[in-house]
Amino acid sequence: MPEMPKFTKSSAEVVERFRAALDRHAAPDLVLKPMFGYQCAWINGNMATGLFADEWWVRVSEPDRDALLALPGAHPFEPMPGRSMGRYVVLPPDVAAGTADLDAWLTKAFEFTRSMPPKVK
């Protein structure tokens, strides 16, 4: 069996920015819980956004995915090389470091995730 890769922890600065952004988007259905050992936000049991090392990813609709991937620095989210996760896209560093563009993409991610059926436990 192949050995699992060792993952780098997110920096304290990135985690702080992530939590601050979630505070700006606080809602009763937005839940913070880890995935892959990293900060992740969930809506109705579906992942909406999260961190992976110092990268910040969002889950968006197909048209929004295409628009986001057209931005320099954005790329498909791959927790393991060659294992792209569908509509999950890593935000460009300048978007993740800002506020206005970041909040706009988070709004799109949360709206898209809310449109999905809840996961049954």
Q: What is the CA angle 5-96-34, rounded to 5?
A: 45
Angle 32-34-35 (CA atoms, 0-180°, nearest 5)? 125
Domain range annotation of the chain: 12-114
Q: Which residue has the higher pLDDT, 80 or 53?
A: 53
Mean pLDDT of 1-26: 85
Q: 27 pLDDT exceeds 70?
A: yes
Residue type at 49 in one-letter notation: T
Q: What is the pLDDT of residue 35?
A: 84
121 vs 58, more confident: 58
Please check the confidence at residue 75 and state whether its pLDDT lies above 60: yes
Task: Spell 41-54 as b/e; 16+ CB within 10 A means b.
Answer: bbbeeebbbbbbee
Entry pTM: 0.90
Q: What architecture is the 12-114 domain classified under in CATH?
A: Alpha-Beta Complex (3.90)
